[in-house]
Structure 1
Amino acid sequence: MAMNRSELVAAVAAKTENSQVAVNGVLDAVFEVFVDQISQGEKVSIPGWLAVERTDRAARTGRNPQTGEAIQIPAGHSVKLTAGSKLKAAVSKK
């Protein structure tokens, strides 16, 4: 079962004894900072928990799955999320 955003906000609000509105505002701000930094090519790292960075993808040749025709896929960017040691340790305990 996956936790959605509203459930995450409610859980953090309960743990921190803050309002859901306040927690939602902080979560929005965190994601805005992630977007700003990663779009500029900067890595965002929370030691022990996670690291998020932009990666480059080279141009390449692909195939149209319906026709089998070769197509050119342009160079672009992607996002890489790496789990930190604390997150990995928490997962391995369960």
Structure 2
Amino acid sequence: MNKEDLVNMIAAKTRITKKDTSQILDALTETIMETVASGEKVVLVGFGTFEPRDRKERKGMNPQTGQPITIPATTVPAFSAGKVFKEQVVNKGKEDAS
């Protein structure tokens, strides 16, 4: 599913125009990105948590030369699915297997 598909589905469920739905979705994603970039968590109960996670410096290997390299420490965005989200995915998988 791409953004246009998501906007169409949300608009159909809410009776909000596609234009307004797109603006709301843009504002939501922008706000989540800004919040996580500032070092804070965004918790959507039942859906999940967006948060920054620190990665330690580690050793790696240059795939072209085989030389060992040091990969610097960094902060990356992460998402952890909430209980309701996980249960829905697990239950859907069980239905499909039947």
TM category, shorter: over 0.9
Q: 2:37 aligns with which of 36, 39, 63?
A: 39
Structure 1, gaps ≥5 residues long: none
How do residues 5-24 of structure 1 correspond to structure 2 at under 5 angstroms? 5-24=3-22
User: Which has the larger share of helix?
Assistant: 2
Distance 1:85 1:8 in 2: 22
For residue 60 of structure 1, report the CA deviation from its aligned partner.
1.6
> Normalised by the size of structure 1, how large is the TM-score?
0.93
Task: Work out whether 1:48 is the aligned partner of 2:46.
Answer: yes
Identity, in percent, stands at: 39
1:75 corresponds to: 73
One-letter amino acid matched to 2:78 = K
> In structure 1, the residue corresponding to 2:22 is in which secondary structure?
helix
Give the number of aligned pairs: 92
TM-score (norm 2): 0.89
Q: Secondary structure at the match of 2:53?
A: strand
1:4 to 2, 5, 30: 2
CA-CA distance at 1:93 after TM superposition: 1.6
Tell me, in whole angstroms, the C-alpha distance in 1 between the residues paired with 2:6 and 2:90. Answer: 22
Shift of residue 59, structure 1, vs aligned partner: 1.4
Once the 2 structures are TM-superposed, how far is the Cα of residue 61 of structure 1 from its aligned partner?
A: 1.7
- After the TM superposition, list the runs of 4 or more consecutive aligned residues in structure 1 that deviate by more than 6 angstroms: none
Please list every run of 5 or more consecutive structure 2 residues that lacks an aligned counterpart in the other structure. Answer: 93-98
